[in-house]
Structure 1
Amino acid sequence: MARDRSSKHEATDTEEQPLKASAEESSSPDGGAESRRSPKKLWTALRRIFLLSRPYWGRLFGALILLSAGSLVALVVPLGLRELLNAVFEDANRAMLDRLTLGLVVLFLIQAVVSFSGNYLLEWTGERVVADLRQRIYRHLHRLTLRFFSDHRTGDLTSRLTNDVGSVRSAVTQALADLLTQSLSLIGSVVLMVVLNWRLSVIIFVIVPVVTIAAIYFGRKIRSLARNIQDRLADTTAIAEEALSSVRLVKSFARSGYEVDRYNRAVDDLFEESRVRVLVSATFSSVVGLLFFSALTAIFWYGGTEVLAGRLTTGDLVAFIFYAFNIARSVGGMSRLYSTFNSAAGATERLFELLDTEPEIQDASDAVPLTDLRGDITFDHVTFAYEEEPVLRDINMEVAAGETVAFVGPSGAGKSTAMSLIPRFYDPQEGRVMIDGQDLRDVTIQSVRSQVASVSQDVQLFNSTIAENIRYGRLEATDEEVRDAARAANAHEFIASLPDGYEAEVGERGVKLSGGQRQRIAIARALLRDARILLLDEATSSLDSASEALVQEALDRLMEGRTTLIIAHRLSTVQDADRILVFDHGRIVQRGTHEELFAQDGLYRDLAALQFRNGSREDAVESLRERQ
């Protein structure tokens, strides 16, 4: 049995540990929406957001101190206005009026300078945190295994990397600053209002608890809607990306109208969720505004009666109204902040779902690099399943260094899966995969994959130049080495004939090149890599005869001196292999050379009869049906 180690290795990326410190806290025991809307869940999400800014806490605290100073300066302004008005209306003191006016101008200048400095530091910190988060998520995505990407749409991951990270930014920067400044403004205004006239303050004290209860009620709804909106946004991104990346297929089947309708439905769903959120937010803001403006009206009426009765000066009333406005603005702002934090928390949950996902395949704590590689490959009683039903069943095989072995068999027999275990894209549930006698679980993943090169039917090219696509095999390769690899791959001639030569852009997924040209660039890339183990998966199956001849010649050069595994449905391409392994229903059912297998009754001869027209085609088809 294989050692159960692949999913239990300790994480080595220490930079991500602060982000994962609260993983257990943020996971919901029942996964329900109600738990996501709880205050504890909101606090946990916000705590993890603010931990992102840990490397920049010095700048962040400096910004908050400056912004706080600006808020305190703003609290002094109504007192200055009070004195100014009293100097005019009560004392008729022109000299005091001039001094107070100059003092207010100085206060405004101080507030402007302090606010500018604080906002700049805060925005810088926010942009840096967002950049770090995007880089960290992208780095983490590259640590995850192929199984993860099989289970997630690329458009959804792209949406999380862009839209969700952008949503977090508002919570890290402006919302945090507003929370502090609005809190200072609220507390300071309340204290100064009580000092000025405690009887008028009672009106505000009646309103604040009502607004607080409303904020909690509406905030829960807004957070749930924000999470739904991020999901809908991811759906629209995924639909658009899938259709645009397959635009040739869409146009070939005249399905542009269908794809547009599909995208429109997704956008309409997103609009509906957004409309409901806007409705809830607008209702909340209107309720808060109605309550506070009603309170201000009451304050203005009662304060006016106090002035008329001589118990309150005009300056006191104006200052009191200013502080009441401050409280109304602060509570209204904090209610919006609650919505902002809830929205950011919804996006944060999706981001930390990624960051909390541990790679299924990791290096063991005592893993060592695979050095001095010869290229021997061994499968020792290997059983593997993607879900529950095994795809490979008790596979045993040995491939000697420098040997060429072909995998043949019907589709779904397990050939590609067996090949994917060699670069350790997956680990078997039972048995061992070994290179040079070392279990792949005991060596570092990077050292294994650096010695494996692959060429498949579905060539993956980047939307860049031909030279950069070839150099992907070895990033430090010189221009001359790139050209030498292209010559060996029979690609130099067609590249040289292009207007821009090696600097020609290949287009997205190499769309500007023919299938044979893409294959030869892939072979040049593999040649430049100079790996000891070569994996060929249907490398010539979709080519015309002329292109196949050029590609096959290049492959022959590539295979020289390397351990080579070939998957092929066209048996004519593997007749010269040292050995052929025949797969069927996850097992190796036949082994031998082409001549040996063709001389035996079995699956290989049935397949050969279909392709080489030897014997009865009808008998071969009937035999294959019986094996299904």
Structure 2
Amino acid sequence: MSPSVLLRWALRDSARGVTASWIGGLGYQAGLILLPWCLGRALDEGITPGDRSPLLSWAAATLAVSVALTGAEFAMRWWATLAGVRTGNRLLLRLSERVLGWDAVTAHRFSAGDLVTRGTRDVEQITIWISTVPSLASGVLGLFTVLVVVATLDPMLAVVGLGTVPLLIAVNLWYPRRYEAANAALSAAHGARADAVEDLLSASTAVRGLGGEQVLVERHHEASATVHDRTLALARIAAGWAANAPFVPWLATAAGLAFGGLAVLDGRFSVGGLVSFASWMTLLGRQVMMLTFRFGQLGDAWTAAGRIEAVLSAESEMSDKATSLLPAGALATDGVSVELPDREPLRLPDLSVGPGEFVAVVGPVGTGKTTLLRLLARLADPSTGAIRYGGTDLRDAAIADVRDTITIVGQRPLLLSGTIAENLRLGRTELTDGQLREACRIAGILEHIESLPEGFATEVGERGSTVSGGQLQRLALARGLLRGARVLLLDDVTSAVDARTEQRILDGLRELDVTIVFATSRTAVRDRADRVVDLGVHDGELVSHG
């Protein structure tokens, strides 16, 4: 999809603020044009020996124009900034909603660092562009108004002023395409460096002592060197554009002074008119510089919009329907298989878990325990077969309804920067402190939290860096319990806890009136389950307990 689609959306979204800013911009341009006129009239009419009143009148008029110009500029910048920030925030929400709705296959099209760049630097480029649209639109009108005003002063000066137009057009046709290509290359380089930074900050601990630190550092240096080179390449184009564009009206100013000065000496032109002309040509140079900068920002926004549009237009392979799931029912698989790269398709056994059942899924590494849970949670769709809840194929159900009905807790969960309570609530302010305590009790983490000086207000650090692996698993389990889903899928969430804590967790889980599918390698979980499904046995082996 073309970047113009996103930019048009941004303008529609910010229309009210942009319009208010544009009106202020028109007043600002009018003030800039009136000031040289007031100055010229003051020189020609105000400087009269023995009579100060004309001079004071023109001085007052100049002051009034200056005050109005200041107010108009404030209004232009205030409303433009407000419109840009608001629309930028809404654009970021659109990006977030799109990314959160992706399946794993779609998500893997973009690296984490590149997505961060698109959600920060690229959104910021759109925000900046929106805030400059009013000054761009009013500036173009101001530019042509200056040319018209200059044309009314003197035929020769009109030729000099209008002679700048073809040269300005040539300059502003030469640079934009080169600027856009260089800016796209720089954006891609920023995305690659963001990936390198992500690895350097998050993966360096894992490879420390294996000699991997230097590899990550070198990757970061290479990515940074590319950003450096492409930044300079873009800067060279921008510098040439910014320098050459205003040079044209400045050259015309020099020629105008020469011709205008001769006209003054011949008595065909006034000194005030010549000063007004020089001021307007200086303003013309400023206008061209401003417009050049604004067109550069448009190029930045165009490139950013293309990158953002690629994210917004990336469709998840999982379809989203409107069907609601039944309040309760069996979770079942039927003829399910998954295509794997460079491997035979993974075939999973038919399975039916009734309401309130506790089923343990076991098997060696690579037999598909985690894959089965991801399919049951509809984080991915099977290549063949179907997964049903209460008789409804999950592919025919609304994804939001599936998420409300089925909750999965992964083996390697993540916590967000913030407090324990914030991580447990995840923005659901309706959850009471009592509900948090009960979920943590079942997850076997309540006593530890209450032993901390700050309790539930304890900061967990980025990605849970201040908690141990076992504490992280238990906090994630408590967070999953607070979801209130009817089906709970657990991926080896007791692998990092001691045997006593594991028993307490299993006791708490057995108290719940929910369906539980627990992928595990732990004997204790097998022993407490109602049934065990062994994926290591052909077609699956179902063993009943109790």
Please give the alpha-carbon distance, in whole angstroms, between the structure 2 residues aligned to 1:520 and 1:330. 62
TM-superposed CA distance for 1:532, in Å, is 2.9
TM-superposed CA distance for 1:559, in Å, is 4.1
Q: Which residue of 2 aligns with 1:614?
A: none
Cα deviation 1:575-609 (Å, max 9, x = unaligned): 5644443436xx953323289xxxxxxxxxxxxxx
Mapped pair 1:330 → 2:281 = no
CA 94–155 in structure 1, closer or farther in 2 if over 3 Å, else same: same
Q: Which residue of 2 aligns with 1:448?
A: 402
CA 474–57 in structure 1, closer or farther in 2 if over 3 Å, else same: closer
TM-superposed CA distance for 1:90, in Å, is 8.8
SS at match of 1:413: coil
Please give the alpha-carbon distance, in whole angstroms, between the structure 2 residues aligned to 1:394 and 1:593. 16
| Equivalent pair of 1:489/1:554 in contact (CA under 8 Å) | yes
Is 338-347 or 285-294 further displaced after alignment?
A: 285-294
Aligned-residue identity in percent: 28
SS at match of 2:27: helix
CA 523–138 in structure 1, closer or farther in 2 if over 3 Å, else same: closer
Mapped pair 1:164 → 2:116 = no
> Which of 482, 488, 491 is the matching residue for 1:537?
491
Please give the alpha-carbon distance, in whole angstroms, between the structure 1 residues aligned to 2:448 and 2:31. 72
| Equivalent pair of 2:337/2:345 in contact (CA under 8 Å) | yes
Q: Which residue of 2 aligns with 1:518?
A: 472
CA 181–378 in structure 1, closer or farther in 2 if over 3 Å, else same: same
Please give the alpha-carbon distance, in whole angstroms, between the structure 2 residues aligned to 1:412 and 1:188. 73
Aligned amino acid, residue 583 of structure 1: L
CA 473–564 in structure 1, closer or farther in 2 if over 3 Å, else same: farther
TM-superposed CA distance for 1:524, in Å, is 3.0
| Equivalent pair of 2:77/2:131 in contact (CA under 8 Å) | no
Q: Which residue of 2 aligns with 1:270?
A: 227
Please give the alpha-carbon distance, in whole angstroms, between the structure 2 residues aligned to 1:93 and 1:180. 43
| Equivalent pair of 2:377/2:407 in contact (CA under 8 Å) | no
Q: Which residue of 2 aligns with 1:198?
A: 155
CA 91–61 in structure 1, closer or farther in 2 if over 3 Å, else same: farther
| Equivalent pair of 1:575/1:594 in contact (CA under 8 Å) | no
Q: Which residue of 2 aligns with 1:78?
A: 36
Aligned amino acid, residue 325 of structure 1: T
| Equivalent pair of 1:581/1:588 in contact (CA under 8 Å) | no
Q: Which residue of 1 aligns with 2:275?
A: 318
SS at match of 2:376: coil
Q: Which residue of 1 aligns with 2:375?
A: 421
Q: Which residue of 2 aligns with 1:592?
A: 542
Aligned amino acid, residue 162 of structure 1: T
Cα deviation 1:544-598 (Å, max 9, x = unaligned): xxx13312431243145543323234567425644443436xx953323289xxx
CA 476–100 in structure 1, closer or farther in 2 if over 3 Å, else same: closer
Aligned amino acid, residue 194 of structure 2: T
| Equivalent pair of 1:185/1:326 in contact (CA under 8 Å) | no
Q: Which residue of 1 aligns with 2:323?
A: 368
| Equivalent pair of 2:46/2:52 in contact (CA under 8 Å) | yes
> Which of 146, 150, 162 is the matching residue for 2:108?
150
Q: Which residue of 2 aligns with 1:397?
A: 351
CA 291–447 in structure 1, closer or farther in 2 if over 3 Å, else same: closer
| Equivalent pair of 2:106/2:314 in contact (CA under 8 Å) | no
Mapped pair 1:299 → 2:256 = yes
Equivalence map 1:98-177=2 (5 Å) = 98-174=56-132, 176-177=133-134
Q: Which residue of 2 aligns with 1:225?
A: 182
TM-superposed CA distance for 1:424, in Å, is 1.2
| Equivalent pair of 1:407/1:415 in contact (CA under 8 Å) | yes
SS at match of 2:473: helix
Aligned amino acid, residue 535 of structure 1: L
TM-superposed CA distance for 1:52, in Å, is 1.7
| Equivalent pair of 1:164/1:347 in contact (CA under 8 Å) | yes
Equivalence map 1:183-262=2 (5 Å) = 183-253=140-210, 255-262=212-219
SS at match of 1:454: strand
Q: Which residue of 1 aligns with 2:518?
A: 566
CA 231–421 in structure 1, closer or farther in 2 if over 3 Å, else same: same
| Equivalent pair of 2:46/2:58 in contact (CA under 8 Å) | no
TM-superposed CA distance for 1:444, in Å, is 2.3
Aligned amino acid, residue 439 of structure 2: A
Cα deviation 1:371-402 (Å, max 9, x = unaligned): 3213x122122233366966434753323333
Equivalence map 1:8-87=2 (5 Å) = 23=1, 26=2, 45=4, 48-87=6-45
Cα deviation 1:226-262 (Å, max 9, x = unaligned): 1222222222222222322234324454644443332
| Equivalent pair of 1:523/1:554 in contact (CA under 8 Å) | no
TM-superposed CA distance for 1:151, in Å, is 3.1
Please give the alpha-carbon distance, in whole angstroms, between the structure 1 residues aligned to 2:147 and 2:198. 53
Aligned amino acid, residue 517 of structure 2: L
Q: Which residue of 2 aligns with 1:625?
A: none
How many residues in Structure 1 have an aligned counterpart in Structure 2? 544
Please give the alpha-carbon distance, in whole angstroms, between the structure 2 residues aligned to 1:78 and 1:526. 69
Q: Which residue of 2 aligns with 1:608?
A: none
Aligned amino acid, residue 359 of structure 2: V
CA 94–473 in structure 1, closer or farther in 2 if over 3 Å, else same: closer
| Equivalent pair of 1:464/1:506 in contact (CA under 8 Å) | yes
TM-superposed CA distance for 1:168, in Å, is 1.2
| Equivalent pair of 1:474/1:529 in contact (CA under 8 Å) | no
| Equivalent pair of 2:39/2:272 in contact (CA under 8 Å) | yes
Please give the alpha-carbon distance, in whole angstroms, between the structure 1 residues aligned to 2:344 and 2:324. 30
TM-superposed CA distance for 1:172, in Å, is 0.5
Please give the alpha-carbon distance, in whole angstroms, between the structure 2 residues aligned to 1:198 and 1:51. 45
TM-score when normalising by structure 1:
0.80
SS at match of 2:516: strand
Cα deviation 1:189-218 (Å, max 9, x = unaligned): 111111111222222333321221221221
Cα deviation 1:71-90 (Å, max 9, x = unaligned): 12322222222222222679
| Equivalent pair of 1:391/1:413 in contact (CA under 8 Å) | no
| Equivalent pair of 1:534/1:564 in contact (CA under 8 Å) | yes
Q: Which residue of 2 aligns with 1:279?
A: 236
Aligned amino acid, residue 448 of structure 1: V
| Equivalent pair of 1:70/1:111 in contact (CA under 8 Å) | yes
TM-superposed CA distance for 1:434, in Å, is 0.4
| Equivalent pair of 2:348/2:368 in contact (CA under 8 Å) | no
> Which of 453, 460, 472 is the matching residue for 2:414?
460
TM-superposed CA distance for 1:220, in Å, is 0.6
CA 412–210 in structure 1, closer or farther in 2 if over 3 Å, else same: farther
| Equivalent pair of 2:126/2:304 in contact (CA under 8 Å) | yes
TM-superposed CA distance for 1:97, in Å, is 2.3
Please give the alpha-carbon distance, in whole angstroms, between the structure 2 residues aligned to 1:413 and 1:219. 55
TM-superposed CA distance for 1:154, in Å, is 1.7
SS at match of 1:189: helix
Please give the alpha-carbon distance, in whole angstroms, between the structure 1 residues aligned to 2:59 and 2:425. 70
SS at match of 1:592: strand
Mapped pair 1:494 → 2:448 = yes
Is 202-211 or 104-113 further displaced after alignment?
A: 202-211
Is 72-81 or 49-58 further displaced after alignment?
A: 49-58
Cα deviation 1:57-82 (Å, max 9, x = unaligned): 23321221121022123222222222
| Equivalent pair of 1:455/1:523 in contact (CA under 8 Å) | yes
Aligned amino acid, residue 459 of structure 1: P
Q: Which residue of 2 aligns with 1:550?
A: 501
